[in-house]
Amino acid sequence: MQSRYLLVLIWLCSSSCILAQTSFSIEEAIDYAYKESDIIKLNMLDIKEAEANINEFVSIGRPKVDGNINYQYNFIKNRSVVQDFISPAVYGVLFNEGVLEERDLGPPASNEITFQTNNALSMGIEASSLLFDGSYLLALKGARTYKDFIAKNEGISKQEIRSEITKAYLSVLIVDENIKILDKNLKNLQQIHKEAKAYYETGFVESIDVSRIELSQANIETERKKLIQLRSLNMNVLKFQMNYQEDDQLELSDDLETMVDLIDIENIDLLSEIDYNNRAEYDIILGSQELNKLDLERIEKGKYPTLVARAGLSGLVQRDNLFSNDEPGILPAAYAALGLNLPIYDGNERSAQAQKGKIKIEKAEIERQQFEKSVALQVNNARARLINAKENIKNAKTTLAIIEDIYKKTNIKYSEGVGSSVELTQAESQLYQEQSKYINALYDLILAKTELEIALGTL
């Protein structure tokens, strides 16, 4: 029994660990956003709605069966006035046969008669089926194409989500990297400040030297507080893009240096041809063209005849006393019919619709060409930015190494008493600037590669 409880406890703990994931790599964050995104959920509902529309449209061409039951009670019966044609006919026969002496019968009498009974009960069943309709078949094909068209929106949504998550994730990482550098610099300054105070107490440096170092410390601490606030804002943006609960803890398992190392800078192909089919938007444009062509074909097929088959079976009960077996029973009726509808002249309505359809096709072709030009420009600009980013990262890395060496030597000189605090402050300021430039160069490199992948549709 205890072992069973232990297994349940282990299972609950493992389940809670899975559910309580708080650390995400950039790919995990993107996958999480795919699952939780409201936009993706709406796209899935749009696809389901398109499927329902297809089923609804398919039902138009399927056989249909309708049943009906009608009961009518005639509390005032319809009456007709009918001249007495029976008496003149009978007397005519009698006069002709000499049974009676012929005489003038006068005008025939008129009588009110009714053919209705008190009760009327009818029952029937009717079946119909569309045998041929050219425009219906094309419209059905168009409905299925429209479903595929809607499904392609998911590709656009995923590209947008990946792009936004990547940018938001990088924004947090760039702040984290800045905070790391500030912490490192602050630690160095604390050591220098400790040494400077010791030198001041022994008379080797002036109080202004200590004050300069304390001012640098205060500036770094102020900047660090700003970065902490900025990180909180950027993290909220990332949570929003992921559709992650704002109050829940979120940690990033990737760092900026690791992401840069994953970029094979030297092997990025900057001369490959653009494959527009990789862009989800291009699929939408091509799908729109296909829909326009199908719509035009549907309009043109509207001039073909439509053939419908119908069949029905009915029964009628007419009685003064509905439940009397002495009166007539059910009067059956049945029919089968074919209906052919042949359009002859529609006032040029179809011609006008076809003209509009051709205009839509021409406009869609222009939009396709514009999109290709736009993508080509986007790719070329992204390639240029990536080339610049690659050059900037090399220069920034080289310059930072030089400035770090200068700062290290200046710090040693100051510690040995042969350098001034002014020189140390200047070297320190240059170091901070180059550190910031290097981090920004890292960010620009990753962002430039991301934008190139977005432009090529390979992100």
pLDDT at 419: 66
| Whether the Cβ atoms of residue 231 and residue 182 lie closer than 8 Å to each other | no
Average pLDDT on 345-368 reads: 82
pLDDT-derived band at 229, boundaries 50, 70, 90:
very high
129-181 residue pLDDT tens? 877 776 676 677 767 777 777 777 777 788 888 888 888 888 888 888 888 88
Q: Specify the number of domains making up the chain.
A: 2
Highest mean pLDDT among 123-127, 297-301, 416-420: 123-127
pLDDT at 416: 66
Same domain, 169 and 267: yes
Task: With respect to residue 217, please indicate whether it lies within any of the assigned structural domains.
Answer: yes
Domain that holds residue 107: 80-113
Same domain, 103 and 146: no
pLDDT at 368: 86
pLDDT of residue 75 exceeding 70, the answer is yes
Residue tagged 């920034």 (tokens): 396
pLDDT at 15: 46
Same domain, 299 and 426: yes
22-33 residue pLDDT tens? 788 888 888 888
pLDDT at 427: 79
Task: With respect to residue 128, please indicate whether it lies within any of the assigned structural domains.
Answer: no
Task: With respect to residue 53, please indicate whether it lies within any of the assigned structural domains.
Answer: yes
Same domain, 152 and 257: yes
Instruction: Identify which has the larger pLDDT, 12 or 114.
Output: 114
pLDDT at 206: 67
pLDDT of residue 293 exceeding 60, the answer is yes
Average pLDDT on 358-381 reads: 86
Task: With respect to residue 438, please indicate whether it lies within any of the assigned structural domains.
Answer: yes
| Whether the Cβ atoms of residue 308 and residue 130 lie closer than 8 Å to each other | yes
- β-pair type (251-252, 306-319): unpaired
pLDDT of residue 263 exceeding 70, the answer is no
Task: With respect to residue 311, please indicate whether it lies within any of the assigned structural domains.
Answer: no
Same domain, 225 and 351: yes
Average pLDDT on 269-296 reads: 77
Same domain, 103 and 142: no
pLDDT-derived band at 121, boundaries 50, 70, 90:
confident
Task: With respect to residue 327, please indicate whether it lies within any of the assigned structural domains.
Answer: no
Same domain, 412 and 380: yes
Q: What is the CATH number of the domain that holds 172?
A: 1.20.1600.10
Same domain, 87 and 37: no
Same domain, 48 and 97: no
Same domain, 139 and 108: no
Same domain, 93 and 222: no
Phi, psi of 106 (to 5 degrees): 80, 180
Average pLDDT on 17-23 reads: 61
Same domain, 374 and 285: yes
Q: What is the mean pLDDT of the chain?
A: 78
pLDDT at 204: 61
Task: With respect to residue 252, please indicate whether it lies within any of the assigned structural domains.
Answer: yes
Average pLDDT on 191-201 reads: 70
Q: What is the pTM of this model?
A: 0.66
Task: With respect to residue 427, please indicate whether it lies within any of the assigned structural domains.
Answer: yes
pLDDT of residue 276 exceeding 60, the answer is yes
pLDDT of residue 267 exceeding 80, the answer is no
